Amino acid sequence: MNIDLALEKIYSLKQFHVKLGLDNITHLLNHLDNPQNKFKSIHVAGSNGKGSTCSFLASIQQELGYKVGLYTSPHFVKFNERIRINGTEIDDDEIIYFLEKNKDYIDKYLPTFFEITTALAFDYFNKNNVDYAIIETGLGGRLDATNTIMPVASLITSISYEHSHILGDTLEKIAYEKAGILKKNIPTFLGVLTEVASKTIINIAKKNMSKCFQLSKILVELENGIDLKLKNKVFSFSKTALKGKHQLRNASLAIYVIDQLFEVNGYKIYQKGLDNVVHNSGIQGRYERYKGNNNIIFDAAHNLEGIQVFIEEFKKEYKKYNKCTLVFGAMRDKNIGEMLTWLEPYFSEINVTSTNYERAATSDEIKKIAEEISINVIVNDSPENIFNREFERDKNNCLVIIGSIYLIGEIKRKLRL
């Protein structure tokens, strides 16, 4: 079996869609002798900021000298991106070996794509004796396949409306599902949440006898940075390698966790972790400049909250360009109309497109929504061609690709980035 056949096998499991529940993954992990119980882990859920917070955690731990596994989803260009140790992606040979070794089990029990990917990650981290693994939930929390670990800490980064058909149609219901990762007597860390979401999660934490640490209690947001009131003294910082004020909050949550769980000699190590997060974790798509080109921005914002934080940053610079062009694609279950409404004032041209993903809205579906709210869009099913077009016309044009990790990944693959 080569890597292409191996990945084809994994991707074929997507046909079974999402199976919420832990019975299948528990059975699979039992078959593997429960590798998830053989390393320490930190579990991260939330509507936005999960990937960034996971990456900051992993980066700071690496700077502290730990061997750190990092499991995130989805990937942008290559499946291997989902599973890393100290920033290095899992080898093709490891994926092939795992699938060949467990072929009979997979063929018999048909675990889903995410279940087998999660099991692969846990098995790989165990085999390589990581000190810690940072585990990002896939969907929700309570019934997510990753909710089979017993972490040293549980984090919830944010709560906003998403996947309402699965997680619920109120913030209380969504918060309840996310809080499903909380474990008895295991500390809980909360990002800056709404009062409704905080109350729901804190009540669940109390029932679990889980000490609850709220970032809002120690965070002071200044005009040019952050003050964090940590155990020993205040740590102040104003930048990370990831662009945007929201990334300061994500970094703050990661620092808060490390400060409570570890003995850290000197806070300079925190800034080093924040500065080296891209190198240490391989994170992509967070206000990412294409090969350092300030005129091309990839942003994985995929819901209203994400779009809002993107705009918060983009409005600082959009007026300096002669023209701003948008490439937009989104999943069918997102609030596409409102996302476009928020984005429209900053762009003179909006291209809508789709991706080869089962949940993605088609370009025609997005166009119809746009027409209903009187926003002019152009259907463009080959958005990668815009790169050359825009910058042949004017080097001072800006191009933004936003709305879905799958969209960014597909364009990157076509451009071979």
Domains in the chain, start-ordered, CATH in brackets? 3-281 (3.40.1190.10), 288-415 (3.90.190.20)
Q: Give CA separation, 275 vs 128, 236, 263, 278, 334, in Å.
A: 26, 14, 20, 8, 32
Task: Report which DSSP code applies to 151.
Answer: -
pLDDT digits (tens, 9 = 90+) for 132-155: 999 999 987 899 999 999 999 999
Q: What is the pLDDT of residue 40?
A: 98
Tokens for 380?
A: 């463009």
Q: What is the pLDDT of residue 17?
A: 53
pLDDT digits (tens, 9 = 90+) for 341-372: 999 999 999 999 998 888 899 999 999 999 99
Residue 316 neighbours by CB distance under 10 Å: 12
The whole-number average pLDDT for the span 330-335 is 90
Check pLDDT > 60 for residue 264.
Answer: yes
The whole-number average pLDDT for the span 173-194 is 95
Of 66-75, 133-142, 158-167, 208-217, the one with minimum mean pLDDT is 158-167
Of 12-16, 247-251, 276-280, the one with minimum mean pLDDT is 12-16
pLDDT exceeding 90 applies to what percent of the chain? 76
Check pLDDT > 60 for residue 190.
Answer: yes
Tokens for 177?
A: 């599902």
Give the residues across from 47 on adjacent strands: none
Q: What is the pLDDT of residue 164?
A: 47
Res. 179 pLDDT band, cuts 50 70 90: very high
User: Which residues, 6+ apart, have CB-to-CB distance to 17 below 8 Å?
Assistant: 112, 358
Specify the higher pLDDT residue, 292 or 57. Answer: 57
Of 13-22, 167-176, 219-228, 398-407, the one with minimum mean pLDDT is 13-22
Q: What is the pLDDT of residue 80?
A: 97
3-state secondary structure of 288: strand
Distance (Å, rounded) from C-alpha 380 to C-alpha 372?
19
pLDDT exceeding 70 applies to what percent of the chain? 94
pLDDT digits (tens, 9 = 90+) for 38-48: 999 999 999 88
